[in-house]
Amino acid sequence: MASHGVARPAISVVRTDEQLHEEQQRIQEYRDLEELIRAKIAEEQYTVEVLDLTSKLLKENPEYYTIWNVRRRLLIYGLFSKSSDSSSPSKASQNTSPTDTTQTSSIPSSASTSTIPADSNTIQHDPISQTRGKTGTTLDLISADLEFLFPIMMKFPKCYWLWNYRLWLLHQANERLDWQIARGLWTRELVLVGKMLVKDSRNFHGWGYRRTVVAQLESQKLHGSSMVESEFEYTTKVIHGDKGLSNFSAWHRRSKLIPKLLEERQADDPTRRQFLDDEFDLIIAAMYTDSYPYAQSAWFYYQFLMTTLTDPVGHATITPNFTSEERIEFLVRQLEVLKDMLDGAEDCKWIYDALIEYTLCLSRMEERQLQIDEKDDCSQWLTELRKLDTLRSGRWVDLELDLRGNNIPGV
Amino acid sequence: MSLVSGPGRAGTTGLPEELRLVIEPHVKYIQSLDSRRDELEYWLTEHLRLNGLYWGLTALHLLGRPDALPRQETIDFVLSCQSDNGGFGAAPGHDAHLLSTCSAIQILVMVNAIDELEKKGKGEGGGKMGVANYIAALQNRDTGTFAGDEWGEEDTRFLYTGLNGLSLLHLMDLVDVDLAVQYIMSCANFDGGYGVSPGAESHSGQIFACLAALSIAKRLDVVNVDKLGRWLSERQVEAGGLNGRPEKLEDVCYSWWVASSLTMIGKLHWIDGSKLTQFILKCQDPENGGIADRPGDMVDVFHTVFGLAGLSLLGHPDLEEVDATYCMPKRIIERVLG
């Protein structure tokens, strides 16, 4: 119903009788399969056979969220409790809401809560035996399901339900399996999401998924520790990769990691000052070497760095102990950098926009009015902005009003 | 796309054919959507049926044809999607989810049939309360955000749809609105935008969801208007259309997510409205109706409603005025919320 990027045929296509017939057959098969699954579930047939039926349907239509839910129920009410390593509270959870078994659950994962397995022949295995991957263990079921999902995710990387179901499976592993085994699964996810992000380095779901996977691998439950350093390195790698400068997702992630990174490094004030310098060097060098200063992603990261100087909300991010003199010193230096950047890039609106903003910032930080030469500069930069960027002329009108508030004559 | 205006037509509108809003083809296109049961695509999209009905009905309202779908059939269909737990699924027999539940309420409000829900509604407490209790139970009482359904996926989209549905039922007091507002604030980024959860990248769709939720909570005062306005205004590309994130392709649906967000913070004039209008109009199929993501692509009802809603925000004279928070006719929101 929501098609993206699908070309419309020049003439509307009329289906032949044969095509019509074929389509009716496919509809019938699809609906029969759907009916069959519903009937089996109504009979509470939580079996591998029914699981396979849902696989068949979901491969054709991964957006069918109700069938993903059917699959969840098949696992928690049926297959997990029947599996040979049933050491989980799955039987006990039969009469509770499924919400109790999702990530918000407080059900302990240890085997101590084990209840009587559905199959009286079932014996409990120690965690090590679970890794041997005997047919029918909870681990096998989860691993097989993760594998089943992978090609579908590669084909439909923007389908919310797929990412969501995958996370649910992994949380099931957290609750039902030994932590070492669960950790092993999450570790593989980091590799997988890395691959997905190579395929599409801006995939919104992929970046979100990466944050979740990392949070899990860092968690106490999985005996993890901070991954801030390696994640920060990952953003550096992506930024220096193909089209990296335009990868706002990577810049964004970097901005979020920095405060934690510096805290963990127990960075002292000179180190933090150096860090800020290095980040400015990185972004400025990137602007000069890549698509030169026309990529807006880089400008938003530049804005982030400037915010640590100009905006009280951002002060604590990198250099919390900067004196106002130090902030002004950095700001003045950046204004010079921006003016230099204009040389050869006179048609780059981002530079003019930044120059006006930070010139105004400087006067505010120095608690003074704009000086005559600053006023002249701002008027001139605004004239350039208006010429270069007519789409946003309404914004420039408002900017002019702001500047007039600073006693700038009309431009 | 070629300019198809002929000598006979130019005089009537003064605009090339492709830059004129076609009304009747859009109405017919939406009316035809439920008669396509001989196409596999119809069955493969059943998980969007109730959302689709909301999109189609809203589009018809904006086109000035609110009665173009049979009212009683609409009501009966919506009520047939309700689960015993009070939530609505996408179609009969589909599991309840907050996204379809919100659509159900919006549709019932548009056809003025909340009284039918009051009579026949399922769930704890029955009637309006049955649905409202379903929604309220999805709020995470520790963080303030909402899950989409019983399986626990959380996303600021669900926070918005939760508040949207409850406010239309006048039952907002069932949830902790202050906590929800705090959660949204924790999703704010340095660029002024918001993501799906704390730490997530700013995205125009999520920004709409967060601003609309703040608007319902009457807490737009917490927004960094200047920064967000600048970021949103940079979504407009040379072709006139808007993208959802920096350096992504333009797409008609962002005509809604971005333009409504700019409207809510009073900065719609920071983009070029006439260029955006032209872009949306170029995405129409002028013969068979419907609007696509980009010129020349396949149309669908999702892009049709968000294209029309965008045009309405921009003040298109042939369209009903849309409410930027609810994506429903302003007239109806005024009737319901006074």
A405 to chain B: which residues are within 8 Å by CB?
none
> Is residue B7 in some structural domain?
no
Among the residues of A61-126, which ranges form H helices? 65-73, 80-82
Among the residues of chain B, which ranges form H helices? 7-13, 24-32, 40-44, 49-62, 71-80, 98-110, 114-120, 127-136, 156-168, 177-186, 204-216, 225-233, 253-264, 273-282, 301-313, 330-337
> Is residue B23 in some structural domain?
no
Residue of A nearest to B272 (CA): A391
When CB atoms are compared, the residue of B47, B202, B251 closest to A64 is: B47
> Is residue B141 in some structural domain?
yes
pLDDT one-digit tens code per residue, A294-353: 889 999 999 999 999 999 888 889 999 999 999 999 999 999 999 999 998 999 999 999
Residue A367: which region, alpha, beta or left (left: phi > 0; alpha: psi -120 to 50)? left
Cross-chain Cβ contact A392/B202 below 8 Å: no
| CA max distance for chain A | 90
> Is residue B230 in some structural domain?
yes
- In the numeric block, the tokens 């919390």 are attached to A320
**Mean confidence (pLDDT) of chain B:** 94
Helices (H) and strands (E) in chain B, counts: 16, 2
- Are B238 and B321 part of one and the same domain? yes
- Are B106 and B178 part of one and the same domain? yes
pLDDT in the model for residue A119: 38
A314 to chain B: which residues are within 8 Å by CB?
190
Q: Do residues B121 and B127 make contact, with C-beta atoms less than 8 angstroms apart?
A: yes
pLDDT one-digit tens code per residue, A49-63: 999 999 999 999 999
- In the numeric block, the tokens 């991964």 are attached to A62
Cross-chain Cβ contact B234/A208 below 8 Å: no
Cross-chain Cβ contact A204/B269 below 8 Å: no
- Are B163 and B293 part of one and the same domain? no
Cross-chain Cβ contact B199/A211 below 8 Å: yes
Least confident of A7-16, A83-92, B21-30, B184-193: A83-92
- Are B207 and B265 part of one and the same domain? no
> Is residue B77 in some structural domain?
yes
Rounded alpha-carbon distances, angstroms, from residue B243 to B246, B251, B256:
7, 6, 11
Degrees, nearest 5: CA angle A65-B183-B219: 115
- Are B183 and B264 part of one and the same domain? no
- Are B203 and B241 part of one and the same domain? no
B positions 134-173 inside 8 Å of A (CB) = 140, 147, 149-153
DSSP code at position B322: B
Cross-chain Cβ contact B201/A27 below 8 Å: no
Euclidean distance between CA atoms A101 and A154, whole angstroms: 27
Tell me the residue range of the domain where B300 lies: 224-337
A377 vs A90, more confident? A377
Q: Do residues A139 and A85 make contact, with C-beta atoms less than 8 angstroms apart?
A: yes
- Are B174 and B196 part of one and the same domain? yes
In this structure, what are the phi and psi dihedrals at residue B146, rounded to the nearest 5 degrees?
-120, 150
A56 vs B11, more confident? A56
Cross-chain Cβ contact B247/A248 below 8 Å: yes
When CB atoms are compared, the residue of A61, A63, A304 closest to B190 is: A304
pLDDT band at A7 (very low <50, low <70, confident <90, very high): confident
- Are B77 and B109 part of one and the same domain? yes
pLDDT in the model for residue A85: 57
Rounded alpha-carbon distances, angstroms, from residue B69 to A114, B61, B277:
55, 10, 27
Extract the tokens encoding A328: 């002004």
Neighbours of A4 (CB within 10 A): 17
pLDDT one-digit tens code per residue, B285-337: 999 999 999 999 999 999 999 999 999 999 999 999 999 999 999 999 999 99
Domain boundary among B153, B188, B221: B221
- Are B332 and B293 part of one and the same domain? yes
- Are B168 and B216 part of one and the same domain? yes
Euclidean distance between CA atoms A216 and A225, whole angstroms: 10
- Are B196 and B115 part of one and the same domain? yes
Q: Which amino acid is at A301?
A: Y
A positions 331-390 inside 8 Å of B (CB) = 390
Say how many residues make up chain A: 411
Euclidean distance between CA atoms A16 and A133, whole angstroms: 51
B285 to chain A: which residues are within 8 Å by CB?
8
Is A6 near chain B, with CB under 8 Å?
Answer: yes
pLDDT one-digit tens code per residue, A145-171: 999 999 999 999 999 999 999 999 999
> Is residue B65 in some structural domain?
no
B39 to chain A: which residues are within 8 Å by CB?
23, 27
> Is residue B293 in some structural domain?
yes
When CB atoms are compared, the residue of A7, A12, A24 closest to B38 is: A24
A positions 285-324 inside 8 Å of B (CB) = 295-297, 300, 303-304, 307, 314
- Are B108 and B192 part of one and the same domain? yes
Domain boundary among B221, B242, B272: B221
Cross-chain Cβ contact B297/A7 below 8 Å: yes
pLDDT in the model for residue A52: 96
- Please report the number of interchain residue pairs, chain A to chain B, with beta-carbon separation below 8 angstroms: 159
Number of folded domains in chain B?
2
pLDDT at A276 over 90: yes
Euclidean distance between CA atoms B301 and B281, whole angstroms: 15
Cross-chain Cβ contact A8/B45 below 8 Å: no
Does domain A275-405 match CATH 1.10.3720.10? no
Is B11 near chain A, with CB under 8 Å?
Answer: no
Q: What CATH number corresponds to the domain at position B175?
A: 1.50.10.20
pLDDT one-digit tens code per residue, B48-104: 999 999 999 999 999 999 999 999 999 999 999 999 999 999 999 999 999 999 999
Residue of B nearest to A249 (CA): B201
> Is residue B97 in some structural domain?
yes
ipTM of the complex: 0.92
**Adjacent-strand bridge partners of B82:** B88
Domain boundary among B221, B246, B261: B221
